[in-house]
Amino acid sequence: MTINTNHSSVVVPVDSRPMLWQNWMALRNGDRSLVEEILAPTVLAHLPVPGGSPEQVQGRQALVAWVSGRHAGCPDARLAVEVGPIIGPDLIAGRWMLTRAGDDPANLCPHRIIVACSGVDILRVDGDRIVEYWSHDDSVRLDRCLTYSAA
């Protein structure tokens, strides 16, 4: 909360959800410094699985391990918010674009390629922490979201 500076004793609440979204995106980009502040210990994540039902991951450590694993596989990958955050009473959602430079796995292009993929994160919050997370991304159909360019 912040105190109104117009010399009134009225206390104005501060909405922490935009900052929670920003910190979530920082975590998704590899910054683990605020994990305990933004994730509930029992957070439940619903993660995309190619060709199947979403996988569920329970607990802060398990979710951080998943995020870290995805980031370790592509350390130069960056998520940038395209839409949002869209904020409801207990939900925060946003669309992001992931980009990374990489080698062409099919050797179709003599240059490095730019891989671009988009997705949506939906967060259910309780107070200042994320208690549930749903993810959808196009990585399950990565062949449809490759963009080739000379780098």
- Is 132 part of any domain? yes
Number of domains, the chain: 1
Cβ–Cβ < 8 Å for 34, 26: yes
pLDDT score at 143? 40
Cβ–Cβ < 8 Å for 91, 122: yes
Which of 38, 28, 148 is closest to 96 using CA atoms? 28
pLDDT score at 45? 94
CATH number at residue 86: 3.10.450.50
pTM: 0.75
- Is 5 part of any domain? no
Task: Assign 65 to helix, strand or coil.
Answer: helix
- Is 3 part of any domain? no
**Per-residue pLDDT for 87 more than 80?**
yes
- Is 115 part of any domain? yes
Confidence of residue 150 (pLDDT cuts 50, 70, 90): very low
**Per-residue pLDDT for 66 more than 90?**
no
- Is 2 part of any domain? no
Cβ–Cβ < 8 Å for 129, 44: no
pLDDT score at 145? 40
Average pLDDT over residues 1-27: 76
- Is 31 part of any domain? yes
- Full domain range(s) for residue 81: 10-147
Percentage, residues of the chain above pLDDT 70: 70
Is the model more confident about 11 or about 123? 123
- Is 34 part of any domain? yes
**Per-residue pLDDT for 13 more than 60?**
yes
pLDDT score at 133? 95
- Is 21 part of any domain? yes
Confidence of residue 67 (pLDDT cuts 50, 70, 90): confident
